[in-house]
Structure 1
Amino acid sequence: MLMGLGWSAAHAGGFDLLTAEQWAQAQAAETRGAATALQRPAARTRSLSAGPQIRVLSPQLGAASLRAPLRIELQFQPVGEARVRPETLKVLYGFLGLDLTAKIRANAQVGEKGVLAEQARIPAGSHTLRIQVSDTLGRVGETELRFSVED
């Protein structure tokens, strides 16, 4: 059991969360938009309309740099009597908002309590993931996760 979510390890061989080509496209777009970009914290969580909270358990926030493959573990926290709807999960990457949701769904455990992705391969560099999920009342919670991966 991992981090109290009641899941066992799956996909021990790992998976490509992001290819080198996708990373290069996102970096080029982000570089073009860098003139207007502001420095942002490692993680920023917000709930739109008091939606579910998304807590990042892994990777460790504030770590100077990480090494791939990564373990990505998120915990969903519903608000009030509403339940989290895992089928509404969206995982978007970088400035372009490249949709990685299908890769997460195919290679990770996704449920009402959260997400667990083991052995997620991602190229070295700086990365931003935007994670969204809604609840049974239609409210949306969102977290932005920023991290760096070393070679």
Structure 2
Amino acid sequence: MKKLFATIFIAACAIDTGSTGLNGINSEPGALAAVPQGWLVTPAEALAFKGEEGYFEPPALRPRAVVPMIDILKPVPVADLKVKAPFAIAVLFKSQADAAIDPATFKVLYGAFKIDITPRITKFVKVTQEGFSLENAQIPVGKHRLTMQVQDDKQRVAERELRLEVE
């Protein structure tokens, strides 16, 4: 029992709660490093953040309720979706009659670790209550999962995954 407690205590002490981000630079916790122009996810990040593992992970189950919806218009989501980079991403938000979409709550999470890459997208597009369109999304060759989230003004969350393979 003492050995188990000591192991847990040591592991807890090893967790970095400081303000260094994932890139090791002092920044917001979980912040990502700057990337070359146009890249949403770099090849190194795809490996480090286990992008391909995220592709194979089953989608999270959400309770059914009255929530907003996210429709992916481009690329057309199909099983075993394959695209060539750069490619277009177009998303349509659909609100329920009793609440409007809050574009400020929009997030895009990458891979198995669900790393927030929202600033990399919002740098190129304006997210509105209707959605957004990005013409030249740059992601390296491999399998990837992007999880998009948005809330309405009643804080109900819509979530939609885009799984694709870049050739």
Question: Could you say whether these structures have the same fold, taking a TM-score greater than 0.5 normalized by the shorter chain as the test?
Answer: yes
Q: Does 1:99 align with 2:122?
A: no
- CA 1:28–1:70 in structure 2 vs 1: closer, same or farther (change >3 Å)? closer
Return the structure number with greater relative CO, CA threshold 8 A, min gap 6: 1
| Aligned-pair CA distance for 1:50 | 2.1
Q: Does 1:54 align with 2:70?
A: yes
Q: Does 1:24 align with 2:40?
A: no
Q: Between Structure 1 and Structure 2, which shows a larger proportion of helix residues?
A: 2
Amino acid at match of 1:147: L
Q: Does 1:126 align with 2:143?
A: yes
Is the 1:49–1:139 Cα contact (8 Å) retained in structure 2? no
Unmatched runs of 5 consecutive residues or more in structure 2: 1-36
- CA 1:86–1:46 in structure 2 vs 1: closer, same or farther (change >3 Å)? farther
Q: Between Structure 1 and Structure 2, which shows a larger proportion of strand residues?
A: 1
Could you say what the CA RMSD is over the residues aligned between the two structures, in angstroms? Answer: 2.5
| Aligned-pair CA distance for 1:109 | 2.7
Instruction: Provide the TM-score with structure 1 as the length reference.
Output: 0.76
Greater Rg by CA: 2
Q: Does 1:140 align with 2:163?
A: no
Give the whole-Å Cα distance in 2 for the aligned partners of 1:85 and 1:60: 24
Amino acid at match of 1:23: A
Identical-residue share of aligned pairs (%) = 33
Aligned residues: 129
Amino acid at match of 1:27: K
Deviations for 1:58-116, whole angstroms, at most 9, x for unmatched residues?
A: 11222641000011100000011310000000100010111111111111231110021
- CA 1:57–1:85 in structure 2 vs 1: closer, same or farther (change >3 Å)? same
SS of equivalent residue, structure 1 residue 15: coil
Give the whole-Å Cα distance in 2 for the aligned partners of 1:115 and 1:90: 12
Give the whole-Å Cα distance in 2 for the aligned partners of 1:45 and 1:68: 30
